[in-house]
Amino acid sequence: MFYKIEYILFILFLIVAYSCGDKPISEIEIQPQTITTPSDINELLGDSARIIIYDNGKPISGSLLTDVANGNKDLFLLQLPSGEHLLEVFLTGPNENVVYMLDRVRTITIPDIKNTLNIELGQPLKFNTKSIYLEKNQEVSVSVIVDAKKLPEGFTSPEIHWTIDNIENGNSELGTITPDKLQATIKGPATLPSSTTHFLGAYYEANGKKFISVVKLNYVE
């Protein structure tokens, strides 16, 4: 059974168009109702989580998620010239090229955009389980599905990579991964690690970024 993990970011675009010489500019205020992140991402990123807004592949606004939660909404005030825009909302950590949650607004046209637009902020891949329990020398199978709505334009079947704590295919200390596209088999290590916080990751790469989903890995005797 697949667990569907979706986190809704409702965004209201209020557009006030005005002229600036011969280049009209639209001021857009994005008003998020709720930004909710899953517990695994909260534990992994802590206070380093950031919201970054991209326009046509370039970052135009960003802020720490904690600042947003404390009332700083400056990153949601955008000024866009007339024309077509592909707006993307990413949730990242310290490395802005590693994306944990996102949504892509398909190309919009300024000033013809509607007054309201809903944004659905979700994980790029969805695990078939909410947590994984790994025993010594025992194997566990996991799988993911790709959220097609989050894929970049032109991508249909991305290559999936698997990691444990950012180590490609794991290792003998944390467990080894045998990947098989959307599925993977994890074999527990001969000796369980002493630390308790570890994460299994599945990701694909596109446009110079890594789009990753994580789930907590629990080691049990």
CB within 8 Å of 94: residues ≥ 6 apart: 48
Q: Determine, yes or no, domain membership for 1.
A: no
pLDDT tens digit sequence for 205-215? 998 999 999 99
Burial of 205 (0-12, 13-18, 19+ CB in 10 A): middle
Domain boundary among 94, 122, 150: 122
Q: Determine, yes or no, domain membership for 143.
A: yes
Domain count, the chain: 2
User: What CATH number does the domain containing 182 carry?
Assistant: 2.60.40.10
Domain boundary among 105, 122, 139: 122
pLDDT tens digit sequence for 163-188? 999 999 999 999 999 999 999 999 99
- Both tokens assigned to 167: 């180590």
- Asked if 73 and 108 sit in the same domain, the reply is yes
Comparing 35-49, 65-79, 87-101, 123-137, the range with the smallest average pLDDT is 65-79
Domain boundary among 106, 122, 138: 122
User: 115 versus 143: which is more confidently predicted?
Assistant: 143
Q: Determine, yes or no, domain membership for 185.
A: yes
- Asked if 82 and 57 sit in the same domain, the reply is yes
Rounded Cα–Cα distance for residues 133 and 197 (Å): 12
Q: Which structural domain range is residue 69 located in?
A: 6-122
- Asked if 188 and 92 sit in the same domain, the reply is no
Burial of 204 (0-12, 13-18, 19+ CB in 10 A): buried
